[in-house]
C-alpha cells in the first residue's frame, strides 16, 4: 500500500523559513519513473503545483516561487523535504505531497495517483 | 506555461442528473489531462488519467473524453457522494504542471 504523510509546523511567522517533510511508504524514489510533487491549496482556492523531484534527483519548481523553494530527498528515510524561504501570509495554505509516475518511456506521466492528507500552515505574526 | 480553464465554475444539480464539466488548455496537451475529485477537508483523489482512463476503484458513472485542448468529465447519474469540487490537471508540459481552477458541484 502506497501512503504519503506531510508534516511540518502549523504556524510560522512572516519572513521565516518553512520546512515541510513528506514521509512515504510503499514505493522507492530510486525506482525509475518515480516522482514526488508538492502541491498547495490556499483557503477556498484552487490547487497549485509547487515542486517536483524525480528518481534521478532532478528538481523542478514553479516559476513564480523558484527563488524561494528547495526540494530534496532522503532515499534511506523515504522522505522528501520542501523548504520555502521568506514566507508571507499569502503562503497560508494546506500543503500536499503526491506521488506521480512516468509509466511510458518518453511520455508525460499519468497524473498524481496517491496524495497525502495534507498539512495546514498558517503564516502570521 | 500552459493555462487551464474550467466551465462552469460551479453548478447545482440533483441526484440522478447527468453532469458534464469542461476543461480547456491554452495549447495542445494531447491526452495528458487528468481529473481529480476533492471533498471538503480532504485531499484530492485521482479519478481519470490521460483524458479517458478510469483510475482503479472509480465508479463507472464517471467518464472522460477529449484531446488536444478541450476535455470533458461526465457523471452519468449523480450520486450523493459526488457532490464535491473537480479539478483538471495537465502533465503534457511536465515538469511544469498546472491545474484548472475547479468546478464545484452543489446539491440543487
| Cell representation of residue B83 | 457532490
Query: Mutate which of A47, A61, A63, A103 to test chain B, going by most B C-beta atoms within 10 A?
Result: A47
Out of A52, A113, A116, whose CB is closest to B43? A116
Per-residue model confidence (pLDDT) at position B108: 87
DSSP letter, residue B51: T
Compute the average pLDDT of residues B6-25. 97
Per-residue model confidence (pLDDT) at position B3: 97
Tell me the percentage of chain B whose pLDDT exceeds 90: 96
In the block, which residue shows the cell 457532490? Answer: B83
Largest Cα–Cα distance of chain B, in whole Å?
A: 39
Strand pairing partners for A22? A6, A80
8 A C-beta contact, residue A5 and residue A24: yes
DSSP letter, residue B13: E
State whether residue A115 sits within 8 Å of chain B by CB.
yes
Q: What are phi and psi of B82, to 5 degrees?
A: -90, -5
pLDDT in tens, B64-108: 999 999 999 999 999 999 999 999 999 999 999 999 999 999 988
State whether residue A43 sits within 8 Å of chain B by CB.
no
- Residues of chain A scoring pLDDT < 70: none
Query: Is the link from the previous residue into B95 a cis peptide, with omega within 30 of 0?
Result: yes
| Cell representation of residue A58 | 532532478
Q: What's the CA gap between A116 and B2, in Å, rounded?
A: 25
Per-residue model confidence (pLDDT) at position B41: 95
Per-residue model confidence (pLDDT) at position A26: 97
State whether residue B71 sits within 8 Å of chain A by CB.
no
Query: Is the link from the previous residue into B94 a cis peptide, with omega within 30 of 0?
Result: no
Mind telling me how many Å the CA of A48 is from chain B's nearest CA? 7
Per-residue model confidence (pLDDT) at position A106: 83
> A109: closest CA among A40, A44, A48, A34?
A34
Q: Are strands A34-41 and A47-54 parallel, antiparallel or unpaired?
A: antiparallel
State whether residue B45 sits within 8 Å of chain A by CB.
yes
Per-residue model confidence (pLDDT) at position A105: 79
Q: What are phi and psi of A75, to 5 degrees?
A: -60, -40
Whether B92 sits inside 8 A of A96 (CB atoms) is no
- How long, in residues, is chain A? 125
The span from the first CA to the last CA of chain B, in angstroms, equals 36
State whether residue A37 sits within 8 Å of chain B by CB.
yes
Q: What's the CA gap between B67 and A50, in Å, rounded?
A: 25
Amino acid at each position: 500500500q502506497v501512503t504519503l504523510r506531510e508534516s511540518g509546523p502549523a504556524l510560522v511567522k512572516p519572513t521565516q523559513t518553512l520546512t515541510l517533510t513528506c514521509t512515504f511508504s510503499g514505493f522507492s524514489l530510486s525506482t525509475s519513473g518515480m516522482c514526488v510533487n508538492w502541491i498547495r491549496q490556499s483557503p477556498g482556492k484552487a490547487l497549485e503545483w509547487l515542486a517536483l523531484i524525480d528518481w534521478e534527483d532532478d528538481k523542478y519548481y514553479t516559476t513564480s516561487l523558484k527563488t524561494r523553494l528547495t526540494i530534496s530527498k532522503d532515499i534511506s528515510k523515504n522522505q522528501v523535504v520542501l523548504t520555502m524561504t521568506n514566507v508571507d501570509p499569502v503562503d497560508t495554505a494546506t500543503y500536499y505531497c503526491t506521488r506521480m509516475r512516468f509509466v511510458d518511456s518518453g511520455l508525460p506521466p499519468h497524473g498524481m495517483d496517491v496524495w497525502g492528507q495534507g498539512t495546514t500552515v498558517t503564516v502570521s505574526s | 506555461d500552459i493555462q487551464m480553464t474550467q466551465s462552469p465554475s460551479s453548478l447545482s444539480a440533483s441526484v440522478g442528473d447527468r453532469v458534464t464539466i469542461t476543461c480547456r488548455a491554452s495549447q495542445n496537451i494531447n491526452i495528458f489531462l487528468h481529473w481529480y475529485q476533492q471533498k471538503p477537508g480532504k485531499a484530492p483523489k485521482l479519478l481519470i488519467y490521460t483524458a479517458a482512463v478510469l483510475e482503479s476503484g472509480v465508479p463507472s458513472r464517471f467518464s472522460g473524453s477529449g484531446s488536444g485542448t478541450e476535455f470533458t468529465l461526465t457523471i452519468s447519474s449523480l450520486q450523493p457522494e459526488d457532490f464535491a469540487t473537480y479539478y483538471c490537471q495537465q502533465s503534457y508540459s511536465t515538469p511544469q504542471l498546472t491545474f484548472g481552477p475547479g468546478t464545484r458541484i452543489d446539491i440543487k
